[in-house]
Copies of this chain bind each other. A is one copy, B any other.
Amino acid sequence: MSENWLDEVQWDETGLVPAIAQETGSGKILMLAWMNREALRLTVEEGKAIYWSRSRQKLWRKGEESGHEQILKSLRLDCDNDVIVMEVEQKGGIACHTGRHSCFYREFQGGEWKAVEPVLKPEAEIYGKKE
């Protein structure tokens, strides 16, 4: 497959683009993480969300530890070529490392950020089970 589609993406000065994962069906926004060229290419090749971890400076196959993979349903690019939206099926129904459905679990209410979504599975249980 030609890589023209990858050339069209406007990578930032560090070679990354933000990628939003949106749940298929519900339309809920699960998370935003970053992709470099290889991560985006592999995401398409493998049909699963693969990000670039800025903290660990390496490819991050979402769900590799937790099992909470994101199966790619469709991929979109914005008008400036610098943001990706993925429609995904969220395995386990948990995208967030805190054990919540979505990483956007805090809502601005009365001048504060308040947690408004339940923990579906404790963090220790998510990451402990593979040890």
Q: Which residues of A contact B (CB under 8 A)?
A: 1-2, 4-5, 8, 18, 20, 22, 26-29, 31-32, 44, 74-80, 83, 85, 96-98, 100, 103-108, 111-113
Contacts and interface: CB of A to CB of B under 8 A. Distances in A.
Nearest to A80: B103
A79 B107 contact: no
Contacts of A8: 113
Contacts of A5: 108, 111-113
B103 A79 contact: yes
B83 A105 contact: no
Given A18-B18, A85-B104, A31 B76 contact: no
B111 A1 contact: yes
